[in-house]
Structure formats: C-alpha cells, structure tokens
Amino acid sequence: MSEELLATARAWLRQDPDPQTRDELAGLITGAASGDESAAAELADRFGTRLAFGTAGLRGALGAGSNRMNRVLVAQAAAGFAAYLRERVRSDRPTVVIGYDGRRNSRVFATDSAEIFAGAGLRAILLPRLLPTPVLAFAVRHLGADAGVMVTASHNPPNDNGYKVYLGGADDGSQIVAPADAEIAAHIQRVADAGDAGALPRDTGYETAGEDVVEEYIRATAAVAPAPASASGLRWVYTAMHGVGWETFSRILTVAGYPHPSTVRDQLHPDATFRTVSFPNPEEPGAMDLAFARARQVRADFILANDPDADRLAVAIPDESAIGGWRRLTGNEVGLLLGARAARAAEGTPDASLACSLVSSPGLGAIAARHGLAFHETLTGFKWISRAPGMVFGFEEALGYLVNPGTVRDKDGISAAVAILGLAAEARERDLTIAQLLAELGEVYGHFASGQVSIRVEDLSIIGTVMQSLRATPPSTIGEVPIASAEDLLHAPEGTPSGDVLRYRLDDGSRVIVRPSGTEPKLKVYIDAKAESAEAAAQSVDRLEAAVRALLEERS
C-alpha cells in the first residue's frame, strides 16, 4: 500500500465535515494500512484521480475521496467557481442562484455552496426548496444573476449526484461551454491544492428566494400552450419517476387549464432511493412499467413522464403491436412533433431557426426547410443547442426539448409536457390521436425512423478501444450497405461541430453516428433512415441495428 496514497486519504479525512463519509473513509484507511487488498484498491480508485469538472459540471457516485461526490469536493468546486466569477464578472458582488433536487445530499451540497459563495463575497440566493432543474435555469435569467448552480444528477443511478453550472449575462442562462469549463476547473484545482476545505470562509447570510420566482416560472410555462376547450376530455397518466416534477407541474396544469392526470402514486413524490425502478431514466427498459399499468387501468390516451429533475420528458401511446399494449415514443418522434408545432408558429419570422444535436433526427431539418426557417445542427448537449442563432425550438434525441427559449435556455421537461398537452388537445378537436399526428408528420415532411444501439461498460477503456479501432481501420460497409462517406469530427473544419464523433453516410441515404456518452459509461450509436413509408424506414433501421451490433462486437 502506497504511503503517499494513505497520506492523501488521511489529509482528506481531516478536512471532511460529513460524519458518514468520515467513518466510511476511516474504515478504508484502517483496512488498507493493515494489508486489506480490497480496501487498498478502493482507496486507489477514490484518490487515484479527481472527478473532472467539465462542460457538464461534476457528476459521480457519492462517497469520500477526490473521485467521488462529497462535501469536500463540492466545497472546493464552490470556492473555485466563486473565484472564477470574481475574476470574470464586472461587479463588486456577482450574483449566483443555487437550486437542488431530491437526491441524497442535494440540499446539503446546495447549502454548503450558498455559504461558500456568500463567504467569498458573492450575493448567493438559494431557491426556497427542492425544485426542478428548469426552475433554476429560469431563475438565473429572471433574477438577472451572473451564474447558477443546480445540484442534481438528473437520471443517473440512485447513488450519484452532480453539480451543473449556468452562466448569465452574455450567456443568457445557458450551461457553460469551453473555455469556461477549463477556467473554472483550474480555479477549483488551485483551491484543492491549497489544502483544507474546512478553512474556506463561509457566511450563513445568504438569501433564500421567495415563492415569486416559482410563481413566475409557473405563469410563463402555463403560457406555452393554454388549454383549449377540447382539453377537458383528455385522459392521461403522469409519473415523476420519484423526482421533483409533480409539485410544480401540477400547479402549471391548474393555471393553464388542463385536467389533472391519473398519476403513478408510487413514483409521484421525491424518493432518493428510487425504489420502484432499477434505473431512474424513462429511456431504460422497465422504468415506465408502472405508468403503462396505470394507463391500461384507466384507459388513458397517452402517458407523460418526467425524469427525476424534470428536465426531460417521455411520451408513451397505446400500441397493439407492443408488449403490454403501450409504446414509449422515441425522443426523435417527440422532437419532430414539437418541432413541427414550433415551425408552424414561427413561419415567416425573420431569422427564426430550429436546432438539434447532430445525433438527433435529420427530420427536423426537413421541417425547417418546409417552413422557410434556418436549421442548425450542433454538438450534443443543450449548452450548444441553446446557443443556436435565432432558435425558436431545439431538441436532442435523449428526451430533451427546449420549447420556450425566451423563458428557459435549457431543456425543460415541464414546458415540453405542456406543449404536448396542447398538441393532444388540438388533435382531439380533429378527432385524432397522437399516433395519427405522427402519421401526418410522415405524410407532410417525409417518413423518418431512428434507432439506437447503446453499450454500457464497466471498463471505460473498452470505449476507447472501439473508437480507436474504427479510426484505424474504417469500415467500408455497415451490414450489406456501402458507406458513401465517413467523417471524423475530431478533425472537423473550423466553424462546424467537432468532438469524439464518427459519422457515416450510407449509399441508401441512411446515417450512422458513433460516440461515447458524455454523462454515462456507454458507447452510443445512432441510426437514422428515411423511406417512402414509415414501415420501410423502420425496417431499414432494424437491419442497420443488427449490423451495428455485429460491428461493435467485432471491434471490441
């Protein structure tokens, strides 16, 4: 056992204010010092590196150590971010707003941050209680703040937490992008190198925001799609996925005039254990099973589901061909429904545009062209989508939608839910279902289908191995379909999206994109096809999915 590693762990222990992580770490130190190999390996994992601060902020498993989310790491992050703001913002007292969700330690991390911001001379405003991430994004703009922090791990596993950062001013309440991430990370590292996080100045004189901030978010979001008379007959089911969405969303429904749904009661209120799901993400198999059961019970027309911090939205519809009679729509299907809605409203507006990530459906580009709007394709993440010039709507296939850019400059699963309710009510006036609205999209804009192959790994090096193999010996076909062109976006031309992404355009007009996930230990492959009918497009995607799985198995 390295004496240096033991010394690092002991130094961390001395500055840790959390009794739980102190006891946890003390046990590991004792075990490692006495020759316990598993304890030594655990210490090496916890202190062999540092949880990296990037454009997604911080996110990781809770626990003691520099490679975990804990009060020491959060204190260092808050102090480093405060130093960055003091350096960047032309104000004697920069303002930062802090929000938090219902995960373990979220309130503790938020309160620690507020005290450290205030201790650094910033005006710190803590939101009044646990709230959805979109409320924090809204508050940054509404309060004219210079920055915002949201303590959340969104839809990550139960033992994770995270630290998401927004900037005000010229950044207009968007998430950070480079070079701000590296500059903040450098300040955080200087704080960490200085030593004792317990010696950082703190001040309990931070402010707590009033309910008026939440009420203004509710008012603005209800205005996205006020309920028409036909909304009174809607039958639908809602689940908050054990998160924080319901309290705010239910108030918006009342203001907007929509009937309240049948709810999945076991998932309606915050529960940090996420006890009814193995993974609290509506995209994951089984996560919406209780919602499907409730929908069958009440004969619902559709289901809406938020993820735990309510910045994402899932929609499901009856489908006789699906197991259990219900099918969750893909993020692309929902994105095209909402994109067409936005395009119809924006037609004729100078410089208006639609935007989506480069891995999302090319169907949004077809919608933009049909309505005479500009179209922007960005890197993945709403930090990029939100910055598209003239953007009136943006989305990414991972269930993220930005429908109200004048209010929230980030994905917002609650405003997206209101927009879907508006579409469902309008369809009801025409005696149509959401499924029939999707069919109409195909007839008007072309039949697009999408699929995804997602490989979760325990060893992150596997992802690097696959990406390196694909670069070193590029495939000439995917299945039986020749590749017409291949792009490595690590070497993209200046002015176009660049990143660790491989994009293949096939002879039949379909598209395959390979990239590592930015937030989870996954390799993701995105498949898109267009055909003369919905059935033909779906069949093309199915064939490509099988071919992609074979290719990845061969390369790993």
Average pLDDT of the residues in 365-369? 98
Do residues 149 and 163 make contact, with C-beta atoms less than 8 angstroms apart? yes
What is d(CA 349, CA 370) in angstroms, rounded to the nearest whole number? Answer: 14
121 by DSSP, 3-state: which?
coil
Topology of domain 53-196 in CATH is: Alpha-D-Glucose-1,6-Bisphosphate; Chain A, domain 3 (3.40.120)
331-445 and 447-555 agree in CATH topology = no
What is d(CA 54, CA 65) in angstroms, rounded to the nearest whole number? Answer: 18
Compute φ and ψ for 315, nearest 5 degrees: -125, 135
- Domain range annotation of the chain: 1-48, 53-196, 215-328, 331-445, 447-555
240-295 pLDDT, tens digit per residue, is: 999 999 999 999 999 999 999 999 999 999 999 999 999 999 999 999 999 999 99
What is the DSSP code (8-state) at residue 62? B
- Sign for the CA dihedral angle at 117, 133, 261, 241 comes to negative
Topology of domain 215-328 in CATH is: Alpha-D-Glucose-1,6-Bisphosphate; Chain A, domain 3 (3.40.120)
Can you give the pLDDT at residue 495? 66
Number of neighbouring beta carbons within 10 Å of residue 436: 13
- Sign for the CA dihedral angle at 206, 212, 214, 217 comes to negative
- Read off the amino acid at residue 283: E
pLDDT of residue 518 exceeding 90, the answer is no
Give the predicted TM-score (pTM) of the model. Answer: 0.94
Contacts of 309 by beta carbon, 8 Å cutoff, 6+ apart? 101, 132, 133, 150, 152, 154, 155, 243, 244, 245
How many angstroms from the chain centroid is the CA of residue 173? 16
Instruction: Pull the structure tokens for residue 33.
Output: 């010092």
414-468 pLDDT, tens digit per residue, is: 999 999 999 999 999 999 999 999 999 999 999 999 999 988 888 888 899 999 9
Single out the catalytic residue among 154, 360, 361, 510: 154
Compute φ and ψ for 253, nearest 5 degrees: -60, -45
Task: Look up 154 and say whether it is catalytic.
Answer: yes
Can you give the pLDDT at residue 507? 94
Long-range pairs for 45-49 at CB < 8 Å and ≥24 separation? 46/9, 47/5, 47/8, 47/9, 47/12, 48/5
Compute φ and ψ for 527, nearest 5 degrees: -125, 130
What is the CATH code of the structural domain delimited by 331-445? 3.40.120.10
Average pLDDT of the residues in 136-158? 97
User: What is the distance in angstroms between the CA of the first residue and the CA of the last residue of the chain?
Assistant: 33
For residue 377, the number of C-alpha atoms closer than 13 Å in the C-beta half-sphere is: 12
- CATH architecture under which domain 447-555 falls: 2-Layer Sandwich (3.30)
63-88 pLDDT, tens digit per residue, is: 999 999 999 999 999 999 999 999 99
Bin 214: left if φ > 0, else alpha if -120 < ψ < 50, else beta: alpha
- Sign for the CA dihedral angle at 87, 93, 94, 98 comes to positive
Do residues 135 and 217 make contact, with C-beta atoms less than 8 angstroms apart? yes
131 by DSSP, 3-state: which?
coil
Contacts of 199 by beta carbon, 8 Å cutoff, 6+ apart? none
